[in-house]
Structure 1
Amino acid sequence: MSNLAQRLITAFIAIPIVFFMLWFCDYSRIGLMCFLAGVAAWEWARMASKMYKGPDMRFLSFASAFALTLAWALSEGGYFGLPAVPCVVGMTFLVVFAVYIAVAYAKVEIDHLFPWLVMQLGAPLYIGLWGGVNALMMGSGQGFEHCYPFILVMTSMWLCDTVAYFFGKFAAGKGPFGRHAFAPSISPKKTWEGSIAGSIATVAWVAYWVKCSAALGSFHVQFTWVSAIGIGLLLTVAGQAGDLLMSALKRWSGTKDSGNLFVGHGGVLDRCDSFYLAAPALFFLLDFMQKIA
């Protein structure tokens, strides 16, 4: 079976499951976010272990990213019928940080201690502490209206990746379109043509979605078409930057796919890499716009 066929089959199975969990309730939404964060951190720890000697940190990375993502949800309040828990993110981070330092001092040779600690700690920091902001874009209750901002990020990143993949694979280098490597030292198959095509599709989708959703009050912010297009540009730039960051990590560690959770697509970091920058970028921008409105 071709890789494209595997990609399509996996997408047809995974997408309905993801949307059901986003629709069902806050338990399923936050559970999905925590699980994906944990698996992504597991994959990160496995790749980092290839480069520096030290103990197996996959289980601790999973638990740390899971806990930090959950902490973001608990800090917001309203989830699981609980009030906001003050300082829970900071306290969870301090515990994770202390555990990692203790493991490094006890188990890692001094020659590898600092780079090992930086790369291993990067998993809970980037995936859990930064990417955990995904959880703040969701609310409690049944229905998609409780997580419109995250659905916007998710669909726009999928659209950008899909358009860039198919345009770069089948159109770039043919007819009037050239084929210029986007980041040859990081991801040789990515092209400027695919990136631009994905960006145009993403900006159009985000601008339309934001204007329609804003009209329904989903974002609690009034957008002009100019600001809506700006949101689209922010998401496509942040998403592709996150994609390249994970591609650099894989190339640095000599890894083709971060995992195999999604057959034909790779692991969580292969499919969700763009979320970990795009979602926080949108969240903080919306928060800023609400406060100055």
Structure 2
Amino acid sequence: MKQRIITALVALIFFIPVLLLGGYWIDVMACLLACCAISEIFIMKKQILISINFLISLLATLTLTLPDKFFNFLPVFLGKIQLFCILNMLLLTITVLSKNKTSFDDVGTYVLGSIYVGAGFHYLAAIRNINDGYGLAILGFALVVVWASDIGAYVFGRKYGKRKLWPVISPNKTWEGSIGGIICAIVCTTIYVLIVPTGRNQLLLIGLSIVLSVVGQIGDLVESAIKRFYGVKDSGKILPGHGGILDRFDSLLFVLPVVAYIGIM
């Protein structure tokens, strides 16, 4: 527990100033986090990082993570999506050149991993950098929903948890904890939107906290399923006492794109 607290405090010392600064600072942080996360997928899959497969997958991940304006130097017919597709075609070409030592299944993991990681961390920066002046408040809203859900699920689960939520994937999660997480998200979101100006309808955000709490819990279960499939306890070891980047951002990687897709940003 002591190690977890120390790691969390050190992480917050770096994380909070970057959130406050926004701009290029959070773009860079999002890219660094994305690099760590895609490397964790390779390591869990027992794939070496010093390889052409990892290099192309890393480029594909960064292509999705970087802000759209970064690609303004490209010709009009070549945008970030086209570039991402070209990188995926290169990965598929490797299946031929390697005589299936790199298989179609491998490439599927690399591509899906790039989308999973790249899209999530792209919106971490994109939401913060909304140009209407409320980016920090909206990102704070997403963080409050996720953190409140996690804390509520943990507290309610430990005290009242009896019925397992999905034991095949995550044996410790319970229905009581899940519901407690949603309740905690609603309460904390209500307090947050009453205190912090977001430029958005308060009742809408409170209502969406229910949806986002559920989405965040699904993201948590998805990452648990990935780890169970690969037979590992943590996605990585970069955060002592907490595991890897995917372990800490699993819920946000689902919540942040949804925040963007439903038009809150």
Does TM, normalized by the shorter one, top 0.5?
yes
What secondary structure does 2:103 align onto? Answer: helix
What is residue 124 of structure 2 aligned with on the other side?
134
Farther off after superposition, 131-140 or 230-239: 131-140
Deviation at residue 209 of structure 1 after TM alignment: 2.4
What is residue 5 of structure 2 aligned with on the other side?
8
1:183 equivalent to 2:162? Answer no
* 1:182/1:91 CA distance change after superposition, 3 Å: same
Q: Is the 8 A contact 1:73 1:135 kept in 2?
A: no
Give the gaps of 5 or more residues in structure 2.
none
1:94 equivalent to 2:85? Answer yes
Deviation sequence 1:171-213 (CA, Å, 0-9, x none): 2xxxxx3422111000111122222212111122223323544
Deviation sequence 1:130-184 (CA, Å, 0-9, x none): 552333202289xx95422222212321222233234434x2xxxxx34221110
Q: Is the 8 A contact 1:156 1:202 kept in 2?
A: yes
Deviation at residue 95 of structure 1 after TM alignment: 2.7
Deviation at residue 229 of structure 1 after TM alignment: 2.7
Superposed, which structure 2 residues align to 1:98-247 within 5 Å?
98-107=89-98, 109=100, 113-129=103-119, 131-139=121-129, 145-169=134-158, 171=159, 177-213=160-196, 216=197, 218-219=198-199, 221-223=200-202, 225=203, 227-247=204-224
Farther off after superposition, 157-166 or 36-45: 157-166
Farther off after superposition, 236-245 or 113-122: 113-122
What secondary structure does 1:258 align onto? Answer: coil
What secondary structure does 1:286 align onto? Answer: coil
- Specify the code of the residue in structure 1 equivalent to 2:201: Q
- Specify the code of the residue in structure 2 equivalent to 1:253: Y
What is residue 34 of structure 2 aligned with on the other side?
37
- Specify the code of the residue in structure 1 equivalent to 2:38: A
Q: Is the 8 A contact 1:45 1:123 kept in 2?
A: no
- Specify the code of the residue in structure 2 equivalent to 1:20: P
CA distance in 2, matches of 1:29, 1:117: 29
TM-score computed with the length of structure 1 as normaliser = 0.78
Q: CA RMSD in A?
A: 2.8
Deviation at residue 43 of structure 1 after TM alignment: 0.9
Q: Choose from 246, 250, 256 the match for 1:269.
A: 246
- Specify the code of the residue in structure 1 equivalent to 2:90: V
What is residue 23 of structure 2 aligned with on the other side?
26
* 1:222/1:34 CA distance change after superposition, 3 Å: same
Q: Choose from 26, 44, 62 the match for 1:66.
A: 62
What is residue 174 of structure 1 aligned with on the other side?
none
TM-score computed with the length of structure 2 as normaliser = 0.85
CA distance in 2, matches of 1:132, 1:183: 30
* 1:247/1:211 CA distance change after superposition, 3 Å: same
Aligned residues: 259
Deviation at residue 105 of structure 1 after TM alignment: 2.6
CA distance in 1, matches of 2:210, 2:179: 11
Q: Choose from 255, 260, 263 the match for 2:232.
A: 255
What secondary structure does 1:153 align onto? Answer: helix
% same residue? 28
Deviation sequence 1:102-152 (CA, Å, 0-9, x none): 223322527x722222112111121114552333202289xx954222222
CA distance in 1, matches of 2:130, 2:172: 41
Q: Is the 8 A contact 1:46 1:58 kept in 2?
A: no
Q: Is the 8 A contact 2:63 2:80 kept in 1?
A: no
